[in-house]
Structure 1
């Protein structure tokens, strides 16, 4: 299990316990985190689960795959910390992970 903190654009934090093997998106949906819509259900085909990985966690979560990079073209305000939360698999190493929900998804 890993604790993930989702930070809304207004600063509101949502801390959730996430099972290993699940995705950051699945845990956001299960816990009704505002701004994580996930219209495609985690198939990496919509970019509605876009998040910014907190700088100290980028090396742990890794970078996007080529397919994910292509889908990020459909997200707003993409930066070098942008990821689709459906593509980040939870592991023990991610205990304490912090991700930020983009303002335009609020």
Structure 2
């Protein structure tokens, strides 16, 4: 089993480092929900709602480029930045080891 470490910053600013499995095919959204973070994921991971919006604070360059559907959603978010991604579109992968994400769906 190949676990990776991911740091997650919640809405209150608290950061927790978690071990994430890369052998189960989980998305970052599914992993965050499993760890009881307040990720709505209203569309169930189809890149249609952006309620799993995160900002990748560390490790952004190790991610695959977003697809057209993800880019369409990010384009309409008022708080999207250069490091914004939808957690539902990020499959946990060994290249993500050491990544830090900040929950962003409820940011103003």
| Length-normalised TM-score, structure 1 | 0.85
Counterpart selection for 1:26 from 13, 27, 30: 30
Does 1:93 pair with 2:91?
A: no
Which ranges of 4 or more aligned residues in structure 1 deviate by more than 4 Å?
A: none
Contact between 2:53 and 2:105, CA under 8 Å: does it hold in 1?
no
TM-aligned CA deviation for residue 103 of structure 1: 7.0
Q: Of 47, 52, 64, which aligns to 2:50?
A: 47
Greater share of helix: 1
CA RMSD of aligned residues (A): 1.9
Deviation for aligned residue 1:97: 1.2
Gaps of 5+ in 1: none
Q: Which runs of 5+ in 2 are unaligned?
A: none
Tell me the secondary structure at the aligned position of residue 29 of structure 1.
helix
Count of matched residue positions in the alignment of Structure 1 and Structure 2: 104
Work out which of the residue numbers 37, 40, 52 in structure 2 matches 1:37: 40
